[in-house]
Amino acid sequence: MATQVLALNSQTLPLLAPAVNIDPNPAKGGGGITVVDGTALLPEEGPSGTAADIEEWPTSSQVSVYVVRTGDTLSQIAEMYNVSVNTIIWSNDIAGGVIRPGDSLVILPITGIKHTVAKGETLSSVAKKFNSDATEIAQYNGLEAGAPLAVGVSIIIPHGEIAAAPTPAKSSKTKVPSAPLYGAGGPDLGGYFVLPIASGIITQGLHGYNGVDIGAPKGTDIYAAASGIVLVARRSGWNGGYGIYLVIQHDNGTQTLYSHASKVLVSAGDRVAQGQTIALVGATGLATGNHLHFEVRGAKNPLSNLPVGTLE
């Protein structure tokens, strides 16, 4: 089989080679996140059949960070960003609801479904019904894992999807709406970005916010796709499903995001060079199998045209 190549930054680079991974369902998940008003990350995976119950819609594609000041409270910050207190707690893994001056908070107003619990429903059944994750539902709503749900109580289903109604046979021309994809219509910057990983396999094509999943063994080096300043560097936590992740602000105004890492090797505020090792592949957050979830904000993802492969 001939080796495919991708030309980036005026170089001919080999395309991603298959990685060794024994997981039967490898390298997917946790990619549906965008940004609101230039200030906050927002999961993008909303209902595929209707927009009626979606809590928020994105209006920007840029990430920013809020630094807690003396006197700030969670309720004040939540009101400032027009989100719930639980949203901030959930996306920043805040223990006991305690914040301190100097803490850096990524505000993550979530797209999801507001659901009223019916008799007999459990976290697992609700998660299955709306294609979400039981652990995420519990964390977001401040519930204990496995706790019974009170009938009549409203909860938010993070990343929830409402299945589209089947298309009637006589309406063959009607298309079933697909899950939303955002930020994929940006300009093609040619060779501005280099590959963020030397070898691996595309395990999930464009999804969420202009993101692509690349399966690779745990500990594989992750490279900065372009030079810039590290805006976010999270070394632990769930972080709204991203797990251990970082965001780089590039000199041309675009941003790249690298998530599910096993380790981040740089800090917020660091200047990084193109091709510099910034993190190591892992499976933290909402993920199945070791992989890199790579997003490009403000431009075309250079990996978007690569076909999804299979592990052998």
CATH classification of 5-32+187-297, choosing from 2.70.70.10, 1.20.58.220, 3.40.50.720, 3.40.50.1000?
Answer: 2.70.70.10
What pLDDT was estimated at residue 156? 81
CATH code of the region 33-158: 3.10.350.10
Intrachain domains 5-32+187-297 and 33-158 with the same fold: no
Q: Are 142 and 184 in contact (CB under 8 A)?
A: no
Q: What average pLDDT does the chain have? A: 75
The number of angstroms, rounded, from the C-alpha of 222 to the middle of its chain's C-alpha atoms is 17
Q: Please tell me the predicted confidence (pLDDT) of residue 239.
A: 82
| Sequence spans of domains, the chain | 5-32+187-297, 33-158
What letter does residue 301 receive in the DSSP assignment?
-
Segment 116-128 shows an average pLDDT of 90
More confident residue, 73 or 145: 73
Give residue-wise pLDDT tens across range 73-84. 988 888 877 777
How far are the Cα atoms of 12, 234, 258 from residue 104, in angstroms, in the given order?
A: 39, 10, 18
The C-alpha atoms of residue 276 and residue 229 are separated, in whole angstroms, by 12
C-alpha–C-alpha distance, residues 131 and 47, integer Å: 10
What is the per-residue pLDDT across 241-283, written as a single tens digit (0 to 9) for each? Answer: 889 999 999 999 899 999 999 999 999 999 999 999 999 999 9
Reduced to 3 states (helix: H, G, I; strand: E, B; else coil), residue 171 is helix
- Based on DSSP, count helices (H) and strands (E) in the chain, helices before strands: 4, 19
Q: Which of 19-28, 59-68, 135-144, 194-203 shows the lowest per-residue confidence on average (mean pLDDT)?
A: 19-28
